[in-house]
Amino acid sequence: MLLRRTPDQEFLRETTARYLDDAVPAHELRRLRDDPAGFDAAYWRQGAELGWTSLLVPEDRGGGSVSGSGLVDATLLAYELGWHAAPGPFVDCNVVAAALGAADGGHDEVIKSLISGESVAAWCMAEGHPGGQLPEGIELEVHLEPGGVVLRGVKRPVESAAQASHLLVTGRLTTDRARQGLTQVLVPAATAGVELQPMRSVDLTRRFWAVRFRDVRLPLDAVVGEPGAATEAVTRQLHQAIALSTAESVGAMQRAFDMTVAWAFDRYSFGRPLASYQALKHRFADMKTWLEASHAVADAAAAAVDAGTSEAAELASAAKAYVGEYGTELVQDCVQLHGGIGVTFEHDLHLFVRRVTLGRVLFGTPSDHRRRLAAILEREELVS
């Protein structure tokens, strides 16, 4: 990620890399497989002290970046989290903190708690039906009533919902006459009517839940922004989540590739290292091409989303589609090139295969984003 980093960005990245080296080596990730949360609270607080949760929050709300481009800075950390297959709801906490920080006042205590690492939050945007991971597919109902709102529906998957103090719920404003625009509501996790059901995850340390809202009633000040007018904010949150999650996947891809190259030089067959065989050189060349392209498109998407350019939506979907498609191809080739040892639990390679596989399906699949790209290009053609 980012061939040219400022000294402050490199310090931020290197500090996190050293911390993760010590805090979550491979044996610790295996231990966390049986941990209900998947991460330790002290680990998360220390990460917050290193700046993990403040980069997307404006300075006047307690946050701040190191380069002036908070999302780009955050992708450097996401890359390291992927490279280490590290635990923790990094994407969700940053997206929720950014959403609350961008709103006009309110929720200051929640923002402060998220920045300090004393609590975590979950973004309840995705829904389990086809197309439900994108804003246009949201069906959860938000009803306005005198002095408050009522939520009805199900969100899945929601990361770390059982550990979250608050849930940022994205739903559709619904009246007796029609379904209207998107609305976001900050829901304390202990609110009556919120029900959690655990889901299974391929990743060792990432925990996901289905969250059902059964007539959850909250005061009107729980609404983030204007009721029915959150489409632009939700779209930006999705783009931020894509930028962070693709950077994390690229980090895991890089680690898997590096491990495989090292293995190919160390492993001998018929008196020669595997890396010397022409057929394998061709496979490594393909993998290297996919990897470098993934770095490039992920960086371009992060920069465009951070700057809010007209290309942000197109580049975000392009990055999600490309990294999702070729990331899984790359890590599966890494498994094959390791031979039988590549499919054992004892070998560390599977940690990164799991991370990339999970990243493929969060915030929309490659197919979802190819369709989204087609719609964007069609609109551009009609305008021109």
Domains plus CATH for the chain?
A: 7-118 (1.10.540.10), 122-224 (2.40.110.10), 231-383 (1.20.140.10)
Integer angstrom CA distances of residue 1 from 8, 246, 285: 15, 11, 19
The model's confidence at residue 147, banded by pLDDT at 50, 70 and 90, is confident
Nearest-CA neighbor of 359 among 304, 320, 315, 312?
A: 320
| Residue 185 · residue 169 · CB < 8 Å | yes
* Single-letter amino acid, residue 376: I
Nearest-angstrom CA–CA distance, 136 and 198:
26
pLDDT of residue 230 exceeding 90, the answer is yes
Q: Write the pLDDT tens digit of every residue in 280-300.
A: 999 999 999 999 999 999 999
CA end-to-end span of the chain, whole Å?
A: 34
pLDDT of residue 251 exceeding 90, the answer is yes
What pLDDT, on the 0 to 100 scale, is given for residue 272? 87
pLDDT of residue 3 exceeding 80, the answer is no
3-state secondary structure at position 62: coil
pLDDT of residue 105 exceeding 80, the answer is no
Residue bearing tokens 């109902």: 141
What pLDDT, on the 0 to 100 scale, is given for residue 178? 60
3-state secondary structure at position 36: coil
Kindly write down the DSSP assignment for every residue of 164-229, as one continuous string.
Answer: -SEEEEEEEEE-SS-EEEEEEEEEETT-TTEEEEEE--SSSS--EEEEEEEEEEEEGGGEESSTT-
Range 78-86 average pLDDT? 98
CB atoms within 10 A of CB 335: 17
Range 80-92 average pLDDT? 98
* Structural tokens at position 40: 């330790």
Integer angstrom CA distances of residue 263 from 67, 112, 260, 287, 351: 37, 45, 5, 15, 16
The model's confidence at residue 224, banded by pLDDT at 50, 70 and 90, is very high
Share of the chain above pLDDT 70, in %: 98
3-state secondary structure at position 88: coil
Highest mean pLDDT, choosing among 13-17, 101-105, 338-342: 13-17
Nearest-CA neighbor of 93 among 160, 162, 1?
A: 160
Integer angstrom CA distances of residue 56 from 95, 97, 99, 174: 8, 7, 9, 30
| Residue 99 · residue 237 · CB < 8 Å | yes
pLDDT of residue 198 exceeding 70, the answer is yes
Range 243-270 average pLDDT? 94
pLDDT of residue 17 exceeding 90, the answer is yes
What pLDDT, on the 0 to 100 scale, is given for residue 91? 98
What pLDDT, on the 0 to 100 scale, is given for residue 177? 59
Nearest-angstrom CA–CA distance, 98 and 93:
8
3-state secondary structure at position 105: coil
pLDDT of residue 141 exceeding 90, the answer is yes
pLDDT of residue 176 exceeding 70, the answer is no
Burial 150-164 (b: 16+ CB within 10 A, else e): bbbbbbbbbbbbebb
Nearest-CA neighbor of 56 among 10, 121, 11?
A: 121
Q: Write the pLDDT tens digit of every residue in 310-368.
A: 999 999 999 999 999 999 999 999 999 999 899 999 999 999 999 999 999 999 999 99
Averaged pLDDT score across all residues of the chain: 95
What pLDDT, on the 0 to 100 scale, is given for residue 384? 64
Torsion from C-alpha of 328, 242, 305, 138, nearest 10 degrees: 140
The model's confidence at residue 175, banded by pLDDT at 50, 70 and 90, is confident
| Residue 248 · residue 94 · CB < 8 Å | no
